[in-house]
């Protein structure tokens, strides 16, 4: 079984977010990057578990410059067998999907995280499935191999749905698919020896460009209302918070 | 002391992130950074949620021995064929730093196992001893301890009274050891004792040897999550095959101590970083006189001095690591780093405690625990003053010990 896992780097959740160049560019000064948690804890770990159970190999692919390599090495330390880095800075989901699609033929399973925790696009998986002409299941929290088929459970409004899908598929992984795995020192040492192939970009079109980013208004302080002053509370909830 | 699981989990999440004022990370390899992140992640998920409770109850989280083994914290710089990690000395350092960022007691569990038990067996043991013990120590099946200190001989181990007497295929071991980390739990002890010629010899003594016991020492206000005990030997028969064949004299135990002290120099930075991290965050959140206390000059003086001292210690440790990788770090250089960094960490813990005000004395914050732990770290593996005398002797050539 050959599995491809798409991984990206995202700012650490404790990062202070700001933009430069008139809001067009993310300010990466002082930012610590991590592997996107949906890619790491769910997609990658599940892929490694499936490999350990059924045999085969796990390849990770990242579209990004050399600064992504520490995240890629971590994926290798967790248990991927080899890595591909497409050497171009990602700027849109379409571009990323097209760059990945150029290397994604011949896999039995292609996994992405359900979204990245920075831009929350949740687009690359679906675009990739379209480009590869494969079935797509989004937001899957359970994935099992059953004979020649995949048994996939996903979240739907108010409940869950389990699908049976045959043949190669593209799937986006949500919370629950696997538990986090911390690479151990042996894995870290082995990762150094695993192949990390850097390939040139195919120059995929971006489709869209960022016009600007805007930060949400700073949170205002908490307003304290006396317990017996229901009228003011209702008035504020209605007129200011606009929730009732 | 009670053991094992079943403690209360803290609901607070550990928000720590690494501080690198001088971009020293640029001097580290990908492997060092990955090792640091992995151990930090492990500490956040396995240590931080439980440590306050275990320390409060003076209970040893014994289940973490297996976890420490799995992550690869036992003997990371020993060769892989003997249960180690095959990493370099800087990787070993950052692993100790991250463990002690969690708790000095957890770091002690790993220091003793890796540097004081696995290392001497690797360095001085016979091939048979290595094959018998190292893989099982590396994977946490065996817990080891290191017996050098005695009730009457602490800073002066060369005076030790514990002794062995030749008796055919074995030696008969008598004496006692004091303040031994992990001893009540240990499956085996690396013991240093004098032979009939007065030479210090090292040997591996197994737990179930007749006449051997390891009672626990109670009432510690420091390293409360680490278990400490005695080793008592009453006519214990130790087969000659259990003795390290070549090494004689104090250089045996001292070479292990150099290895462990090196790890402590890095480890202490972890405790300091955690105290600084907590104090910095608290100073920005806590408002008095209508402004965050971090805005007052007196708080800034404390924080600025903390990060300055941490940065100096980081550079010192990094350089020591480079020397150690080249096999050129002298015991005296290691002494200087151990002494400086532990004292730095203890000073920072005390200042950080003040910044937290009354909250700083509770287990809502890690600082008081670190502070109490560091009192042990200041004393064990050579006291603060003994390391000063080592530096003094190194620069003057004159011995001020006796
Ligand atoms: C929690 C804990 C865990 C430990 N774990 C271990 C372990 O696993 N294995 C092990 O073998 N040991 C262990 N130790 C023992 C530790 O290494 C000793 O406590 C330490 O070496 C000091 O010895 P001592 O306590 O006998 O103090 P002493 O040697 O009696 O020292 C008392 C004071 O006198 C000072 N002093 C002594 N000689 C001189 C001198 N010549 N000049 C100036 N000042 C001097 C010292 O600096 C110190 O301030 C542990 C200790 C603790 C507290």
Residues of chain B with pLDDT under 70: 1-7, 11
Mean per-residue pLDDT, A136-140:
95
Query: B251-285 and B297-325 helices cross at what angle (nearest 10)?
Result: 150
Query: Minimal CA–CA distance to B46: which of B126, B92, B103, B3?
Result: B103
Q: Is A72 on the interface with B (CB under 8 A)?
A: no
3-state SS, residue B135:
helix
Cβ atoms of B214 and B236 within 8 Å: the answer is: no
- What is the DSSP pairing of strand A2-6 with strand A57-63? parallel
C-alpha span between B26 and B356 (Å, rounded)? 32
CA-nearest residue, atom 23 of ligand 1: B154
Q: Is B127 on the interface with A (CB under 8 A)?
A: no
C-alpha span between B13 and B158 (Å, rounded)? 47
Which residues does B141 contact at the CB level (< 8 Å), separation at least 6? none
Q: Which residue of A has its CA nearest to B74?
A: A185
How many of the other CB atoms lie within 10 Å of CB of B27?
A: 15
Q: Which helix (H) or strand (E) holds A232?
A: helix A230-239
Of chain A, the percentage scoring pLDDT greater than 90 comes to 71
Dump the DSSP string for B296-354: SHHHHHHHHHHHHHHHHHHHHHHHHHHHHHTT---HHHHHHHHHHHHHHHHHHHHHHHH
pLDDT of residue B178: 98
End-to-end CA distance of chain B: 39
Q: Is the dihedral angle over the CA atoms A216, A221, A226, A227 positive or is it negative?
A: positive
Q: Please name the residue that has the structure tokens 């780093």.
A: B337
pLDDT of residue B147: 98
Query: What is the Å distance from ligand 1's center to B220 Cα?
Result: 15
C-alpha span between A54 and B213 (Å, rounded)? 49
Superfamily of domain A2-212 in CATH is HUPs (3.40.50.620)
β-sheet bridge partners, residue B181: B228
CA-nearest residue, atom 44 of ligand 1: B385
Query: What is the Å distance from ligand 1's center to B346 Cα?
Result: 17
C-alpha span between B260 and B115 (Å, rounded)? 5
Which long-range contacts does A162-168 make (Cβ < 8 Å, 24+ apart)?
Answer: A163/A137, A165/A135, A165/A137, A167/A134, A167/A135, A168/A107, A168/A108, A168/A109, A168/A110, A168/A132, A168/A134
Q: State if residue B223 touches ligand 1 by the CB under 6 angstroms criterion.
A: yes
DSSP B242: G
pLDDT of residue B12: 81
Residue A38 above 80 pLDDT?
A: yes
C-alpha span between B349 and B366 (Å, rounded)? 9
Query: Minimal CA–CA distance to B276: which of B338, B346, B206, B330?
Result: B346
Cβ atoms of B71 and B39 within 8 Å: the answer is: yes
| Structure tokens belonging to residue A220 | 């205002």
Q: What are the pLDDT digits (tens) for A178-214?
A: 999 999 999 999 999 999 999 999 999 999 888 888 8
Q: What are the pLDDT digits (tens) for B7-17?
A: 677 768 899 99
pLDDT of residue B1: 45
Q: How many residues does chain B have?
A: 402
C-alpha span between A127 and A98 (Å, rounded)? 8
Q: What is the largest CA-CA distance in chain B?
A: 79
pLDDT of residue A244: 85
| Radius of gyration (C-alpha) of chain A in whole angstroms | 21
Query: Minimal CA–CA distance to A58: which of A181, A162, A163?
Result: A181
Q: Please name the residue that has the structure tokens 């402590």.
A: B264
CA distances from A179 to A42, A66, A142, B71, B394 (A): 7, 28, 12, 16, 52
C-alpha span between B399 and A40 (Å, rounded)? 56
Instruction: Name the phi and psi angles at B82, rounded to 5.
Output: -110, 30
β-sheet bridge partners, residue B202: B192
Query: What is the Å distance from ligand 1's center to B224 Cα?
Result: 18
Q: Is B29 on the interface with A (CB under 8 A)?
A: no
Q: State if residue B148 touches ligand 1 by the CB under 6 angstroms criterion.
A: yes
Q: What are the pLDDT digits (tens) for A86-130?
A: 999 999 999 999 999 999 999 999 999 999 988 888 899 999 999
Q: State if residue B227 touches ligand 1 by the CB under 6 angstroms criterion.
A: no
Which residues does A230 contact at the CB level (< 8 Å), separation at least 6? none
Residue A210 Cα, gap to closest chain B Cα (Å):
30
Q: Where are the domains of chain A?
A: 2-212
C-alpha span between B314 and A213 (Å, rounded)? 38
Q: From start to end of chain A, where are the E strands?
A: 2-6, 9-11, 19-20, 25-26, 33-35, 57-63, 82-86, 109-113, 136-146, 149-156, 159-166, 169-173, 196-199
Q: Do B80 and A14 touch (CB under 8 A)?
A: no
pTM beyond 0.80: the answer is: yes
pLDDT of residue B7: 60
Q: Which residue of A has its CA nearest to B16?
A: A14
Q: State if residue B354 touches ligand 1 by the CB under 6 angstroms criterion.
A: no
Based on the residue annotation, tell me whether B246 is a catalytic residue of this protein.
no
């Amino acid at each position: 079984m050959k599995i491809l896992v798409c991984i990206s780097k995202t700012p650490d959740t404790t990062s202070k977010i700001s933009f430069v160049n008139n809001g067009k560019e993310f300010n990466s000064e002082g930012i610590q990057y991590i592997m996107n948690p949906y890619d790491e804890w769910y997609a990658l770990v599940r892929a490694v578990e499936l490999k350990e159970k059924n045999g085969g190999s796990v390849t990770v692919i990242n579209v990004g410059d050399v600064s992504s390599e520490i995240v890629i090495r971590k994926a290798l330390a967790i248990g991927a067998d080899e890595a591909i880095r497409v050497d171009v800075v990602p700027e849109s989901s379409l571009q990323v999907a097209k760059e990945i699609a150029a290397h994604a033929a011949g896999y039995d399973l292609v996994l992405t995280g359900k979204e990245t925790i920075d831009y929350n696009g949740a687009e690359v998986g679906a675009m990739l499935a379209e480009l590869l002409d494969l079935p797509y299941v989004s937001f899957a929290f359970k994935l099992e191999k059953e004979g020649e088929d995949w048994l996939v459970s996903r979240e739907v409004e108010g409940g869950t749905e389990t699908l049976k899908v045959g043949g190669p598929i593209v799937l986006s992984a949500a919370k629950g698919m696997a538990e986090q795995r911390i690479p151990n020192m042996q894995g870290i040492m082995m990762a150094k020896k695993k192949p990390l192939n850097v390939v040139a970009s195919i120059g995929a079109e971006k489709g869209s460009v960022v016009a600007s980013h805007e930060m949400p208004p700073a949170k205002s302080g908490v307003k304290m209302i006396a317990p017996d002053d229901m009228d003011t509370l209702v008035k504020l909830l209605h007129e200011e918070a606009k929730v009732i | 002391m009670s053991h094992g699981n079943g403690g209360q989990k803290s609901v607070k999440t550990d928000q720590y992130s690494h501080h690198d004022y001088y971009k020293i990370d640029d001097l580290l390899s990908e492997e060092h950074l990955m090792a640091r992140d992995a151990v930090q992640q492990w500490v956040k998920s396995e240590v931080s949620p439980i440590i306050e409770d275990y320390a409060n109850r003076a209970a040893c989280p014994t289940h973490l021995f297996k976890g420490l083994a799995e992550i690869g914290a036992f003997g990371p710089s020993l060769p892989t064929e003997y249960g180690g990690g095959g990493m370099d000395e800087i990787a070993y350092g950052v692993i100790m730093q991250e463990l002690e960022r969690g708790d000095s007691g957890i770091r002690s569990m790993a220091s003793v196992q890796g540097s004081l038990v696995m290392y001497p067996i690797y360095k001085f043991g016979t091939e048979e001893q290595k094959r018998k013990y190292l893989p099982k120590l590396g994977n946490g099946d065996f817990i080891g301890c290191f017996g050098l200190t005695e009730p009457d001989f602490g800073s002066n181990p060369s005076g030790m009274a514990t002794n062995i007497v030749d008796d055919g295929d074995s030696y008969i071991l008598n004496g006692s050891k004091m303040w031994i980390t992990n001893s009540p739990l240990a499956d085996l002890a690396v013991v240093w004792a004098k032979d009939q010629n007065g030479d210090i010899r090292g040997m591996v003594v197994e737990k179930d040897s007749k006449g051997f016991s390891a009672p626990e020492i109670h009432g510690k206000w420091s390293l409360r999550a680490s278990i400490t005990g005695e080793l008592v030997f009453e006519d214990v028969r130790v087969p000659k095959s259990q003795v390290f064949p070549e090494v004689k004299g104090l250089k045996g135990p001292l070479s292990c101590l150099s290895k462990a002290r090196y790890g402590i120099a890095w480890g202490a930075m972890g405790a300091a970083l955690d105290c600084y991290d907590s104090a910095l965050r608290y100073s920005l959140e806590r408002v008095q006189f209508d402004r965050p206390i971090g805005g007052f000059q007196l708080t800034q003086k404390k924080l600025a001095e903390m990060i300055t001292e941490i940065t100096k210690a980081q550079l010192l440790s990094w350089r020591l690591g480079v020397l150690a990788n080249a096999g050129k770090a002298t015991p005296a250089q290691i002494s200087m780093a151990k002494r400086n960094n532990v004292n730095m960490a203890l000073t920072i813990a005390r200042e950080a405690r003040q910044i937290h005000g009354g909250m700083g004395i509770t287990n809502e914050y890690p600082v008081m625990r670190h502070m109490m732990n560091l009192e042990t770290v200041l004393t064990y593996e050579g006291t603060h003053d003994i390391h000063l005398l080592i530096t003094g002797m190194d620069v003057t050539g004159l011995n001020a010990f006796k």
